[in-house]
Amino acid sequence: MSRRPASEVGEENLLRPFEGHEWAPHERRARLVLWLSLVTMVVELLVGVWSASLALQADAWHMATHAGALGITVFGYWYARTHSKDASLAFGTVKVNALAGFASAVALGVVAMFMGVEAIERIFHPEEIAFASALPAAVIGFCVNLVSLGILRFGVHGSHSDLHGSEGNPHHHDHNFRGAYLHLLADSATSALAIFALIMGHWLGITWLDTLAALVGALLIAIWSKGLARDTARLLLDPCPPKEKVEALRNSIASIPDVRSVSVRMWEVNSTQCVAMVEVVAKRPLSAANIRSEVPAIASLLHSSIEVRYED
């Protein structure tokens, strides 16, 4: 028995997500929310300086953190779109989405940590709260967050599935978009808690609710941050897809007449696309093009590399 090795690597299955403008609506909405945050920040800062309201100035700088987080999102979309044809990137910019989402998760985690530390310090060193000036600033920030959430959640058709975590479905789509949404959702939740605490403190004198609201908000943000970090970090580490998916591809190739054995190596490069390396031992001459034509599942891969060895 003799072997005649041959191999073929096909690049025709390489898909560039931004060439199809898959996330273009998300990018436009994120940019719109970024501008809304920047305008709100400038207006609050100018009015705060004019009126000498430290609470309004503080909320203006807090709004700057929104702009920073949304800036990560917008930059991720821009980079992925403008570098999608960069030949120095093996699989294009498919991982930028997960990378930007991971950066947002880290930012959320830092926010949660600082909120928790500050709340614990307030327990041991209470400070007097200027309820009358803090409440309007909190309401303004809450309203801007609600408008921003509406733009992100309802402004993009079909985006609802992109906004949720991996519970029950680890293959949700746009982690970058999800990062921006979670940042605004977290701040809206903490703003609502803060407004409730300020009202109760101002009219009923229950000042400790302000600290409790901060602790609850920090816990919520930490939970959301953990979920986003877990999902995005997994993709950055090139995980294997579900075993059933690998076996289905292997069995499809093995069913081709005169194929002796098949070895398949697959890994995920983003939430919806996989890459595969396939080694086939056949009793007759088979080209990689023959295998692709007989196995439709290969066409759904972002990239496939097929090596065929013949045994006479």
- Look at residue 9 and tell me if it is in a domain: no
In a domain, 265, yes or no: yes
H/E stretch holding 36 reads: helix 24-51
Which is it for the CA torsion 73, 74, 80, 81, positive or negative? positive
Q: Residue 247 has what pLDDT?
A: 92
> Tens digits of per-residue pLDDT, 12-62?
444 444 444 567 788 889 999 999 888 888 887 787 677 665 555 666 777
The Cα 92–Cα 86 span in angstroms is 6
CA dihedral 24, 29, 30, 35 (to 10 degrees): 130
Is residue 4 scored above 50 in pLDDT? no
198 & 295 share domain: no
* Domain closes at, from 236, 267, 297: 236
Q: Is residue 13 part of a domain?
A: no
Residues 125 and 210 in one domain: yes
pLDDT digits (tens, 9 = 90+) for 210-238: 778 778 888 888 888 898 899 899 888 88
Q: Which of 188, 204, 236 is the last residue of a domain?
A: 236
Q: What pLDDT does residue 189 have?
A: 83
Answer yes or no: is 2 within a domain. Answer: no
| Domain shared by 149 and 102, yes or no | yes
pLDDT in the model for residue 308? 87
> Based on the domain organization, do 108 and 205 belong to the same domain?
yes
208 and 87 co-located in one domain:
yes
Region of poorest pLDDT, from 67-71, 147-151, 172-176, 182-186 = 172-176
Tell me the whole-structure pTM to 2 decimals: 0.74
The mean per-residue pLDDT over the stretch 57-83 comes to 81
CATH of the domain at 135: 1.20.1510.10
Average pLDDT over residues 108-113: 86
Least confident interval from 61-75, 199-213, 295-309: 199-213
- Report yes or no on 272 lying in a domain: yes
Q: Does residue 166 belong to any structural domain of this protein? A: yes
> Which is more confidently placed, 32 or 137?
32
202 and 267 in one domain?
A: no
Instruction: Identify whether residues 98 and 204 lie together within a single domain.
Output: yes
Overall number of domains in the chain: 2
pLDDT mean over 174-185: 85
pLDDT at position 165 over 50: no
163 and 244 together in one domain: no
135 and 258 both lie in a single domain: no
Same domain, residue pair 278 and 180? no
* Residue 263: pLDDT over 70: yes
- Helix, strand or coil for residue 281? strand
Task: Say if residue 128 is in the same domain as residue 257.
Answer: no
Sheet holding 274-282, edge to edge: 3-10, 303-311, 274-282, 259-268
CATH number for the domain spanning 265: value is: 3.30.300.30
Mean pLDDT of the 158-167 span? 46
Segment of 58-67, 78-87, 142-151, 154-163 carrying the highest mean pLDDT: 142-151
Based on the domain organization, do 251 and 103 belong to the same domain?
no
pLDDT at 56: 58
Distance CA(121)–CA(266), nearest Å, equals: 49
Residue 264 is assigned to a structural domain of this protein:
yes
Residue 3 covered by a domain = no
Amino acid at residue number 167: E
Percent above pLDDT 70 for the chain: 81
Structure confidence at residue 102 (pLDDT): 92
Report how far apart, in Å, the C-alpha atoms of 124 and of each of 118, 230, 237, 295 are.
10, 34, 42, 66
Angle at 157 between CA 41 and CA 74, to 5 degrees: 35
Residue 90 pLDDT class (50, 70, 90 cuts)? confident
- Is pLDDT above 60 for 86? yes
Other beta carbons within 10 Å of 259: 18
- The residue among 236, 265, 297 that closes a domain is 236
Domain of residue 69, residue span: 18-236
